[in-house]
Amino acid sequence: MPLFTRDFVSCHIKLFESHLYNDPVMLICSHVFCRSCCLELAKMSNNQSIICPICSTRIPFDSLDRFANSLISHGTLATMVKQYLREENNHRMCDSCQNHYISDNNGKLCKKCQIDNENIKKKIMKTIENCEDLITNQKSISLEKIHEQANQLYDIIDQQTRNFCKQIDKYQEELENLLTIQQKANDINALKHQPIDINAISRSIEPRLNALRNSKDFLENINVDKEIKRLNDVADRQLRLLKHKADIIPILSAPMENSSSNIFGELLFKPVEFESKISNSSSDQSMINAYGDTSLQSIPPKLPMWTVIIKALPTHLCIYPVGKSTIIFSCSTNGIISLLTYISPVTYDSPRYIRSFNLFPEQIHIIVQSFTVFNRYMLLHVHQKYDNGSLFFFTHDGILEHGPVQLSNPIRQYLADENRLWAIDSITQTIFYHAQPLFTHEISSILSKRDNFISFDNKSNFIPFRIALNHQLLAILSKDLQQVFIYNKISRERIFTSHFSAGTSMNIWDIGLFPRDNSLLLKFDWSFDGTVKRSLFIHFNTKNQSVGRIEGKYCLGVVIGPNKEILIGFNLRTGIIRCYM
């Protein structure tokens, strides 16, 4: 095998990509990259300097020509690349087992596989000889025995044919029922697929079945069992296809606007100056009351686009857009990170798994209370016994850059937007923010300064519990009052006040803001014996109308994607992330 690993002779100037060195050169910080990669960095620079992707050293230059001349060629590493390529070409793997090298330049198999192939050839030849002996012996069977076996075979054929006819009739009935359901869905434009033509299925199956029924030539019906099984598989496959399409069709009544007051009691979006006029008369109303209120079913369900299984429970979910792709960061309560990526806008294709890693492999008694991702870092807000919590800053590939930072006050949540880190102070009931650090040496000084956005006094009885952000707005969820305040992040003006009444067995547990249209996502949890088993997500537009719902068991983290897709983590004996639109 080669003396050097591919990673050792590869250029890592990009985060998740690498390639073999091509004319390697050394920067003044002693890190090595391709000459073309360095020049590309220099051309993209706006301040006549580049930042080393590994150590973040700033390297100034006067002009591109001088910078190109200042690059020092690394001849030893270039020689290593050539040697690696030679050794890689000389060590070809066996085409069969993929575990051993080929000693013969003209061959394709290793010695072990060659021996195995010879043994297989001998077994084949022996089997052929046994078959020839069997055919010879078969000629000695009496004609009466042949007729007896033929009659038995005819009986089996007739029985299987009758059974298959019954099965075809059953499939025909089920297909027609499913087609009726699909036709109802097509009438309200809930599905864009073309319906399956059952007559076409019948036309393809019935002639072949009739041919088998009417055929009297014994030799033609020798393989009738296989033919019947094949036709059975065709009908079953078509049935499963139509069932799959029917499963994703919401069976709804005719489209109609349904006021959220019929579902949640009184849900009010009022300007601040009219806040005093809000009535509390709806406190006795609930989402689904004991009298069989089914108005929830009139809210159109959001459809699942894809589901993916991951190694750890997705307690916290964050996304980070990179061009046309979106990276999913999933974090468990003990700090296990799973990275996945999908293409926007969302399709039915499942996301591509990148990798997983444990940020705290040697620590057991930790709890990740909140988790957020921004430009260069992952921020983990970690709780241990008898402390106010600590902050850890990791790079996106899991390298600890700074921390732990001990907190003086307990913090309920950290959340990042485009350029700020937002948080909730549990003692002073204050929403505050920091600037986002761009470099590691800036973290301590930035965390030492904080700007208060808004504070709530004891008279208001408003205890901030969760926050949500988009480009323009900040939404704050109250812990006990089940209220939502929405503010303009620039002017700090309160734009809306939302009151909810969700009944005694249900609480609002989380909140989200959709990008661009500023609509609202609320997560309601049902509590049974102190355990949350079922959750309901309701999507409200800015006109105070419920426009979508998602129901699920054992829901964990939730995040809204750049194209209004909703990603939800589940604990279904294993970690699951599901995307809804």
Instruction: Give the separation between CA 532 and CA 552, rounded to whole angstroms.
Output: 11
Q: Are 315 and 569 in contact (CB under 8 A)?
A: yes
> What's the pLDDT tens digit per position in 369-383?
999 999 889 999 998
So what's the pLDDT on residue 371?
96
| Domain 314-580, CATH number (from 1.10.357.10, 2.130.10.10, 3.40.50.920, 1.10.10.10) | 2.130.10.10
Cα distances from 214 to residues 208, 210, 222, 223, 526, in angstroms, run 10, 6, 14, 15, 62
Least confident of 322-336, 343-357, 442-456: 343-357
What's the residue count for the chain?
A: 581
> What's the pLDDT tens digit per position in 89-145?
666 667 677 666 676 655 677 778 888 888 898 889 889 888 877 777 766 666 667
- Under CATH, what is the fold of the domain 6-90? Herpes Virus-1 (3.30.40)
How many alpha carbons lie under 13 Å from residue 11 in its C-beta half-sphere? 20
Burial class (CB in 10 A: 0-12, 13-18, 19+), 364: exposed
Highest mean pLDDT: which range of 166-180, 203-217, 415-429: 415-429
Q: Are 272 and 494 in contact (CB under 8 A)?
A: yes
Give the torsion sign (CA, 439, 441, 445, 448): positive
Instruction: Give the separation between CA 408 and CA 387, rounded to whole angstroms.
Output: 9
So what's the pLDDT on residue 372?
96
Least confident of 129-133, 221-225, 273-277, 442-446: 273-277
CB atoms within 10 A of CB 30: 11
So what's the pLDDT on residue 252?
35
pLDDT tier at 425, thresholds 50, 70, 90: very high
Per the listing, tokens 């001990």 go with: 406
Average pLDDT value for residue range 456-482: 86
Average pLDDT value for residue range 141-162: 77
So what's the pLDDT on residue 256?
41
Least confident of 263-267, 347-351, 450-454: 263-267
Per the listing, tokens 């519990």 go with: 465
Please give the structure tokens belonging to residue 352. Answer: 């591509």
Q: Are 383 and 430 in contact (CB under 8 A)?
A: no
> Residue 138: helix, strand or coil by DSSP?
helix
Please give the structure tokens belonging to residue 377. Answer: 């870092």
> What's the pLDDT tens digit per position in 24-59?
888 888 888 898 888 888 888 888 888 888 888 888
pLDDT of 219 over the 70 cut: no
> What pTM does this model have?
0.53
Q: Domain map of the chain by residue range?
A: 6-90, 314-580
> What's the pLDDT tens digit per position in 227-278?
556 666 666 665 655 554 444 333 333 334 444 444 444 344 444 443 333 3
Residue type, position 394, single letter: F
pLDDT of 280 over the 50 cut: no
> What's the pLDDT tens digit per position in 72-90?
888 888 888 888 888 776 6
Highest mean pLDDT: which range of 209-213, 321-325, 346-350, 547-551: 547-551
pLDDT of 187 over the 50 cut: yes
Helices (runs of H) and strands (runs of E) counted in the chain: 9, 32
